[in-house]
Amino acid sequence: MELAVAVIVTIVTAATPLLIAAIGELVVERSGVLNLGVEGMMVIGAVAAFAIAHNTGSPYLGIVGGMAAGAFLALLFGLLTLTLATNQVATGLALTLLGLGLSGAIGEPYVGLPGTKLQPIEIPLLADIPFFGPILFKQDIIVYASFALVAGVAWFLFRTRAGLTLRSVGDSQTSAHTLGISVIRIRYLAVLFGGACAGLAGAQLSLAYTPQWVENMTAGRGWIALALVVFASWRPLRVIAGAYLFGAVTIGQLHAQALGFGIPSQLLSSLPYLATIAVLVIISRDRRLTLVNTPASLGKPFVPDR
């Protein structure tokens, strides 16, 4: 029982950055914007969180700094794609390269330095529940935030007028503009939210998952988060299943390497990415489901005066 709890707790920790980054990107794509710069925003959030936490001794200030750094890169993406109407795919790829390069330069002085670990917060009484207590009620604040984000986004998108407005922008930007909705303003807010979530996901990596700074420590998690949005068919609650599935694959390959199975470590390390490709191939076969849930204006630029 203790071994099972320990394994599940590590899966939750590994899945949390994927879950947070994916739920932020889901909101962005629901507004009709395709931001492929999640990886860059995550890694810049990771280095900003680590640097601020190391210099101040407060991981909570590090969290705020990581979210701000992710939102800053998202703002840059918004200026280019929403105001200047540049190509969203090309701009997102450039944002990832910028984030990776900038984080390497900023983080160089912090390589090898001890990190400030984010400590778990035990919820009285609930943390003592057998099996489920340590898994659900003895986690750090970012894990709790990931649960709240999923519930909050699901409620916002499908139970509020503002969520309906955001989805209408993503489904038909021209019709939304005709009805007097500020398409650009709503998309800016969605992009900033997605950037803050990506920065928070990066902060979880450098403050909780592995409290240290290593260049390129996101290791492709931003791309997996993008795939998770498609895997979930743009539905918030389905993101949880996908994130924990990929988290289990990540932890599984680490345990397989530790147990010394006769499988090349390079192949084991590639399992999360192979799983991503396999899932996307399976999903793409059901074209009807994909078309029904995909925002119709996804990736399409909008310029009101044209």
Q: Which residue has the higher pLDDT, 284 or 152?
A: 152
Residue range 106-151, pLDDT digits in tens: 999 999 898 888 999 999 888 888 888 888 899 999 999 999 999 9
The beta strand positions in the chain, using DSSP E, are 121-122, 138-139
DSSP 199-261: HHHHHHIIIIIS-S--TTTTTTHHHHHHHHHHHTTT-HHHHHHHHHHHHHHHHHHHHHHHTT-
Say if 301 falls within a structural domain. no
In this predicted structure, the answer to whether residue 49 has a pLDDT above a threshold of 90 is yes
- For the chain, what is the domain count? 1
Residue range 182-217, pLDDT digits in tens: 999 999 999 999 999 999 999 999 999 989 999 999
Q: Which domain holds residue 145?
A: 2-293
Bridge partners (DSSP) of residue 121 are 139
The beta strand positions in 134-185, using DSSP E, are 138-139
Instruction: Classify residue 84 by its DSSP letter.
Output: S
Residue range 19-38, pLDDT digits in tens: 999 999 999 999 999 999 99
CATH (domain of 191): 1.10.3470
Residue 305 confidence (pLDDT): 66
Asked if 228 and 239 touch (Cβ cutoff 8 Å), the reply is yes
Q: Which tokens hold the place of 148?
A: 């709240």
Say if 284 falls within a structural domain. yes
Residue 66 confidence (pLDDT): 97
Containing 300, the helix (H) or strand (E) segment is none
Taking each helix axis from N to C terminus, what angle separates 2-30 and 183-204, rounded to the nearest 10 degrees?
160
In this predicted structure, the answer to whether residue 64 has a pLDDT above a threshold of 70 is yes
Q: Which tokens hold the place of 196?
A: 């803050």
Say if 300 falls within a structural domain. no
d(CA 213, CA 14) in angstroms, rounded, equals: 16
CA–CA distance from 78 to each of 68, 171, 249 (Å)? 15, 19, 33
Mean pLDDT (the chain) is 89
pTM for the whole thing?
Answer: 0.92
Say if 176 falls within a structural domain. yes
Burial of residue 287 (CB within 10 Å: 0-12, 13-18, 19+) is exposed
Would you place residue 90 in the very low, low, confident or very high pLDDT band (cuts 50, 70, 90)? Answer: very high
- Residues contacting residue 43 through CB under 8 Å, at least 6 positions apart: 99, 100, 103, 202, 216, 217, 218, 222
Say if 302 falls within a structural domain. no
Residue range 223-273, pLDDT digits in tens: 999 989 988 889 999 899 889 988 888 787 776 666 666 667 667 677 777
Q: Rounded to 5, what percent of the chain is helix, strand, coil? A: 75, 0, 25
**CA-closest candidate to residue 41, choices 11, 18, 69:** 69
**CA-closest candidate to residue 297, choices 144, 172, 160:** 172
Say if 71 falls within a structural domain. yes
Say if 69 falls within a structural domain. yes
**CA-closest candidate to residue 192, choices 219, 174, 166:** 166
- Residues contacting residue 193 through CB under 8 Å, at least 6 positions apart: 24, 27, 28
Residue 2 confidence (pLDDT): 78
Say if 303 falls within a structural domain. no
Q: Which tokens hold the place of 91?
A: 């701009």
In this predicted structure, the answer to whether residue 306 has a pLDDT above a threshold of 60 is no
- Residue 122, helix vs strand vs coil: strand
